[in-house]
Amino acid sequence: EPGIIVGRRPDPFDAVGVYAPGGTASYPSSVLMGAVPARAAGVQTVVLATPPGKGGLPSQAVLAAAALAGVDRVFAIGGAGAIAALAFGTETIPRVAKIVGPGNAFVAEAKLQVSGITSIDSPAGPSEVLVIADSSADADVIAAELLAQAEHDTRASVIALLIAPYSLESVLDAIEHRLQKEPRRNIAARALAERGAVLQCDSIEQAIEFANRYAAEHLLLALQNPEAVLPAICNAGTVCLGASSSVVFGDYMTGANHVLPTGGMGRAFSGLSALDFVRWTSYQSVTPEAARRLAVPVSVFAEYEGLSAHAGAARIWSER
């Protein structure tokens, strides 16, 4: 419309908090996944919260990742308390405009509870993977993918959905064989027993329907032609195309971000990116000539809604 300009400007947040989980393991990769896009977006202050190790400080690898990513301050605090401290601020921990990063179920719940106080990326809780496989996929590869996510947390959810006539037994045997060699087998075994499954369906159409309803954090399409299926997938944190596109490559080095929505929230949330570290300021400009053209139709809208002052503010420009 001549004389009317409407635009949006990305403005980086002043301060963000990155949460990197700890406890049973140390995750310098999560530091990078949160802090690097924050810096790329132009955030002024990046604060890291991560659980302390046995000596009372985060691991050397986590501190090194924080230094490489340009983190300004590091606080050795974890769990729901860390999320509350970042959201509300304390005497030592600054209040931030946004909190990002994965965590356990308690961290994910804490982020949801403070989302009315500060912005969050997504409910990124315990790890999930759904592997959809046809006869072209190796059972040992499928088992490896399930165990890779199962070792994260006893509450991890790991599912293989095999398209008939793929043998369930071959995958179950491969899981059992690999599990015995894993140092974190106790964690993985509990995740497999409580939140794991090896399922079978009759067709790729059934698999796609299941995937879109489940909305997994990670969806691995171990198929002969995964690219043909991708357009039909609309609910997933990230989609890995082909058996060689292991989820763990995305966890560390493909350039994708591993901070992803879990618990079915892939239906509404997306993975973390630089866009999550800006807020958008919208602006608009209307010339006097354009204002005269808008005056009457806008006043009609306003009067219908019973807002006479709105109508008056529009009509005044029809007389100028």
Distances (CA, A) of 156 to 215, 239, 275: 14, 18, 28
Out of 145, 152, 217, 258, the active site residue is: 217
Q: Which pair of structure tokens corresponds to residue 90?
A: 């304390």
Structural tokens at position 314:
């529009």
H or E segment at 218?
strand 218-222
Residue type, 29: S
The DSSP bridge partners found for residue 11 are 279
DSSP state of 95: P
Choose the catalytic residue: 218, 227, 289, 319. 218
CB atoms within 10 A of CB 24: 12
83 neighbors 107 (Cβ within 8 angstroms): yes
Phi, psi of 71 (to 5 degrees): -65, 135
Contacts of 67 (CB under 8 A, 6+ apart): none
Closest CA to 277 of 18, 7, 8: 18
Amino acid at 244: S
Chain centroid to Cα 299, Å, comes to 43
Instruction: Count CB neighbours of 289 within 10 A.
Output: 10
Residue 73: its H or E element: strand 73-76
113/56 Cα distance (integer angstroms):
28
218 is catalytic: yes
Nearest alpha-carbon partner for 265 in 122, 157, 129, 150: 122
Active site residue 151: no
Instruction: Kindly report each contact of residues 224-229 with a partner whose C-beta sits within 8 Å and lies 24 or more positions away, as own/partner.
Output: 224/134, 224/136, 229/132, 229/204
Q: Which residues are catalytic?
A: 217-218
